[in-house]
Amino acid sequence: MPWGWKTVCSDAPDFDAQWIDTLFRAARMEHDFKVVDLRVLYTEIGPDATERFRHRAALTVPAHRAEADARRYALAYGKVQNSDPAM
């Protein structure tokens, strides 16, 4: 990925960035990553992989909890990156 490992993809980047900033501030810590819209990933992986990614992510019911959402998207991305294009 061109952004490096210091990029966090989110389906609600403004909301998530606000909470991340709040949590880091409360812990008196700084972070060195940026939060971007998940759709930026689609440009990176291309239309065929995007379709497979969306299909894979849709196989599980979104829990709308940060950990569950992150795990669901990470698993879908891993499957897309490591799978047969016919997935």
48-64 pLDDT, tens digit per residue, is: 999 999 888 888 766 56
The pLDDT value recorded for residue 1 is 43
CA-based nearest residue to 33, from 52, 2, 8:
8
CA neighbor of 2 nearest in space, from 30, 52, 36, 31: 36
pLDDT at 84: 57
Q: For residue 30, tell me if it sits in a domain.
A: yes
- Within-domain flag for 24: yes
pTM: 0.58
> Residues 46, 13: contact at Cβ < 8 Å?
no
Total domains in the chain come to: 1
Considering the domain boundaries, does residue 48 fall inside one? Answer: yes
Q: Identify the DSSP state of 34.
A: E
Residue 87 lies in a domain: no
Q: Which domain holds residue 26?
A: 7-81
Instruction: Give the model confidence (pLDDT) of 2-52 as tens digits.
Output: 445 688 888 889 999 998 999 899 999 888 899 999 999 898 889 999 999
66 assigned to some structural domain:
yes
- Amino acid code (one letter) for 54: R
